Amino acid sequence: MENLWAPWRSTYIQNTTNKSNEGECLFCRLHNEHQDEKNLIVKRSKFSFVVLNAFPYNAGHVMVVPYRHVPSIEVLSDDEMIDVFHLVKASIEAIRKAYNPQGFNVGINIGRVAGAGVENHVHIHIVPRWNGDANFMPVISNTKVISEALVDTYSKLYEKLKEE
């Protein structure tokens, strides 16, 4: 599926290909660079962070990522799990305040066959949903229309997550 506003898609795919033997993963790099605005990290906590999906399904699509590089949630400690799910809760609250969605898809893809794009660093997707957000564009032209620029999404969610 194409994004009308995302001509850099091929660069993203090349940079996020899981190359565990060739260096640092995408999420580890984002965490370690400490350039949160540039890397779209909207909140950090003790064991995890919230980052915008650079190629969202809908405006407000975020991911909650533990700092520790592990492939699945059962490897996380109890403290890490509590922290991760605290950020899931805070993210949902912030997205509700900023966008007033009618629902959410919240999911964890564990392993490549389950759809994980970065399969060795577990993360949780939070996608806000509205009635009618799936329209004819994906069916007719294999194109998803995103209604908001990432910089605007970043500003909205950063402000709302500061309140949490």
φ, ψ for residue 43, nearest 5 deg: -160, 145
Residue 1 neighbours by CB distance under 10 Å:
11
Query: Kindly report the CA angle at 15 between 55 and 31, in degrees rounded to 5?
Result: 80
Query: Kindly report the CA angle at 15 between 10 and 18, in degrees rounded to 5?
Result: 115
Dump strand ranges (E) for the chain: 2-3, 41-44, 48-52, 62-66, 103-108, 124-129, 143-144
Catalytic residues: 123
Residue appearing with tokens 């260096």: 23
